[in-house]
Chains A and B, each alone.
Chain A
Amino acid sequence: QSVLTQPPSVSAAPGQKVTISCSGNNSNIGNNDVSWYQQLPGTAPKLLIYDNYKRPSGIRDRFSGSKSGTSATLGITGLQTGDEADYYCGTWDSSLGLVVFGGGTKLTVL
């Protein structure tokens, strides 16, 4: 049971847009910055979004992040088959005293 709640799976057609939600509470998302990671099959996670909405160098603007209250959202536009991956949100939980991740969302591009 993950501290942050993500939908297990989402799907959309190539070229379409998808959003992935990440829900927490005031001990984690509500008072700390959120980051998002993409994990392609058989590879290590890769940072997509940090500090809620910032993109690291080299990450295309098809990926976006937002946060409101105790929830965060990852958006991906112009879906490509190469976007099929597991996506994780993460943040610090000041009550538990550890970094927490969502359970991951598997994106399928139909």
Chain B
Amino acid sequence: QVQLVQSGAEVKKPGASVKVSCRASGYTFTTYDINWVRQATGHGLEWMGWMNPNSGNTGSAQKFKGRLTMTRDTSKSTAYMELSSLKSDDTAIYYCARGPTLGWFDPWGHGTLVTVSS
């Protein structure tokens, strides 16, 4: 079955960077975009950006431009999301999700909790 498996929880200090991985299985990795969505505790969903694993092209919400880097390793069917200059309000669960360009998201990874604390 189609599955996205994410890396484990991270604790980072303000100003640091975090890199989360998302390993895909059950389908051809290069045929769908990988999106990143985050959710702060008790809050709703916030879309961060997308990456085309075939071309490496990316797009992101203006809010994250300059801080968000999305990459992939097609040999490992794995996408990566790196967020830099972390602040306390970046504390959230980060999800990767498969989907057509700017369309629906299915499935979602199980989520990676990133805690930013001094």
Which A residues contact B (CB, under 8 angstroms)? Answer: 2, 33, 35, 37, 43-47, 50-51, 56, 88, 90, 92, 97-104
Contact A47 B95 (CB under 8 A): no
Instruction: Determine chain B's interface SS by DSSP, over half rule.
Output: loop
B61, B95, B104, B111: which contacts A35 (Cβ < 8 A)?
B104
Whole-angstrom CA separation of A35 from B107 in the bound complex: 13
Contact A101 B109 (CB under 8 A): no
Contact B47 A50 (CB under 8 A): no
Instruction: Please give me the residue from chain A that is nearest to B93 by CB atom.
Output: A44
What range describes how many residues of B lie at the interface?
20 to 34
Number of CB contacts from chain A to chain B under 8 A: 59
Contact A99 B110 (CB under 8 A): no
Instruction: Please give me the residue from chain A that is nearest to B110 by CB atom.
Output: A44
Which B residues contact A (CB, under 8 angstroms)? Answer: 35, 37, 44-47, 61-62, 95, 97, 102-111
Contact B47 A98 (CB under 8 A): yes
For the complex of A and B, list the 4 residue pairs with the smallest distance between their C-beta atoms, beginning with the closest.
Answer: A50-B104, A47-B106, A99-B47, A35-B104
In the complex, which residues of chain A have a beta carbon less than 8 angstroms from the beta carbon of B103? 33, 35, 50-51, 92
Contact B108 A88 (CB under 8 A): no
Whole-angstrom CA separation of A46 from B109 in the bound complex: 10
A46, A50, A97, A101: which contacts B45 (Cβ < 8 A)?
A101
In the complex, which residues of chain A have a beta carbon less than 8 angstroms from the beta carbon of B105? 35, 37, 45, 47, 90
Contact A92 B102 (CB under 8 A): yes
- A41 to chain B minimum Cβ distance, whole angstroms, is 12
- A100 to chain B minimum Cβ distance, whole angstroms, is 7
In the complex, which residues of chain B have a beta carbon less than 8 angstroms from the beta carbon of A99? 35, 47, 102
Most buried by B among A44, A56, A101: A44
